């Protein structure tokens, strides 16, 4: 699969180059702002909406509360960007990502994203100016629909500014990441406080506004309003071909899924994940439910005698997973306690 899903990271790299590296009301407002961004996206096979402000202020501190060293490093980078460039990443409030998946060969899709990132206190023109300075003149300009679009050689800039690796394995990982980047990304100020970032084609589609996200996708994004993240995607036919499956029944059930959607959120007790699959009819949904419940039983038995702390957490996650069916929709609800999160990502002693 040709993956171009890296433009937001590259924009951060452009900016980092300059430095070397009442709550319910808030939820309602963020839901409205996220919906506004989705309405501006061009036609997409999948959409993710992200409450960036809550992620930085609530979700990340909670999830990483058991690893204060890592949490400190994350916010140190955020502060460094602000101090050296004047760009405060905390001021981004909402992000919407629209992705298209175009088949180019068997088991091979060309993935093209566009990202709309907005904040009431964001100055999009200033952000672009910082990115241009960080790129050291390595960009070109295009005029699309009256807007100036800046096209950066993403892979070249990332390679020139990649962090120093302490081991050969980390060096290979960094090189592999850079190799998967799109050669170019396009960035423009969509309006005074919104950036559009993505491949040139997708940014062009966003500006020209000839197509919009279909109601079949946008309606699914509103099933769990107020979450830190919501997503919805229409799956291409034959998804089982992408998975190493020996079980024909499992493959048949996976191929029956037309839409996949869900949400992720945090609460005082931990994190909550909801994942839903929509099949063509009720019979297929029942078959999928029975298969998932069967797999849950098998994995539960397999992990039941596990002694490692992390394996015990996985066992509890499998045990706590709750499946349900309503007509042709299957829902997975999973609650993960903060104690279990700490075990998985806490500091090693």
pTM for the full predicted model: 0.80
Instruction: Report d(CA 153, CA 185) in Å as an integer.
Output: 7
Asked if 155 and 178 touch (Cβ cutoff 8 Å), the reply is yes
Give the pLDDT score at 15: 39
Joined tokens for residue 229: 């993240």
Give the pLDDT score at 306: 76
Among 76, 79, 98, which residue's Cα sits nearest to residue 8? 98
Give the pLDDT score at 174: 57
DSSP 8-state class, residue 64: T
Tell me which architecture the domain covering 235-349 has in CATH: 2-Layer Sandwich (3.30)
Q: Which residue matches tokens 């931990």?
A: 270
Cite the beta strand spans of 28-120 per DSSP E.
Answer: 46-51, 94-105, 108-118
Give the pLDDT score at 328: 95
Residue span(s) of the chain under CATH 3.30.565 come to 235-349
Give the pLDDT score at 44: 95
148 dihedral zone (left: phi>0; alpha: psi -120 to 50; beta): beta
The tens place of each residue's pLDDT in the chain, 349 residues long, gives 444 444 344 444 443 343 333 333 445 555 577 788 999 999 999 999 989 888 888 888 888 888 899 899 888 888 876 665 556 778 889 999 999 988 777 767 788 899 999 988 888 888 888 777 777 778 889 999 999 999 987 666 666 655 565 666 655 665 555 455 567 889 999 999 999 999 999 999 999 999 999 999 999 998 887 889 999 999 887 666 666 555 566 777 788 889 999 999 997 788 999 999 999 999 999 999 998 898 888 888 888 777 888 888 888 899 899 999 999 999 999 999 999 999 888 776 5
């Amino acid at each position: 699969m040709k993956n171009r899903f890296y433009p937001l990271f590259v924009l951060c790299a452009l900016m980092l180059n300059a430095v070397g590296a009442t709550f319910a009301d808030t939820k309602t407002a963020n839901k409205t702002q996220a919906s506004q961004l989705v309405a501006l996206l061009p036609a997409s096979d999948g959409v993710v909406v992200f409450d960036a402000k809550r992620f930085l202020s609530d979700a990340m501190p909670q999830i990483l509360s058991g690893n204060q060293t890592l949490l400190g490093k994350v916010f140190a980078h955020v502060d460094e960007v602000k101090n050296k460039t004047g760009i405060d990443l905390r001021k981004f409030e909402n992000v919407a990502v629209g992705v298209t998946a175009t088949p180019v060969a068997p088991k091979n899709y060309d993935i093209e994203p566009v990202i709309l990132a907005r904040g009431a206190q964001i100055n999009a023109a200033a952000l672009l100016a910082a990115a241009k300075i960080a790129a050291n003149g390595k960009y070109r300009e295009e005029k699309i629909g009256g807007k100036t679009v800046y096209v950066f050689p993403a892979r070249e800039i990332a390679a020139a500014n990649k962090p120093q690796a302490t081991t050969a394995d980390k060096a290979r990982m960094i090189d592999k990441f850079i190799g998967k980047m799109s050669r170019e990304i396009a960035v423009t100020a969509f309006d005074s406080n919104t950036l559009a970032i993505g491949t040139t084609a997708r940014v062009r589609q966003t500006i020209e506004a000839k197509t919009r996200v279909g109601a079949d996708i946008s309606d699914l994004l509103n099933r769990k309003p107020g979450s830190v993240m919501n997503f919805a995607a229409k799956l291409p036919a034959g998804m089982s071909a992408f998975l190493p499956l020996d079980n024909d029944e499992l493959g048949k059930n996976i191929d029956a899924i037309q839409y996949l959607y869900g949400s992720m959120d945090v609460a005082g007790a931990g994190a909550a994940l909801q994942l839903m699959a929509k099949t063509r009819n009720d019979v297929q949904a029942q078959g999928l439910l029975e298969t998932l419940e069967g797999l849950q039983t098998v994995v539960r038995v397999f992990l039941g005698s596990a002694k490692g702390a992390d394996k015990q957490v996985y066992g509890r996650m499998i045990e706590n997973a709750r499946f349900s069916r309503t007509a042709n929709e299957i829902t997975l609800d999973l609650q993960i306690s903060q104690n279990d999160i700490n075990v998985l990502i806490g500091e090693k002693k």
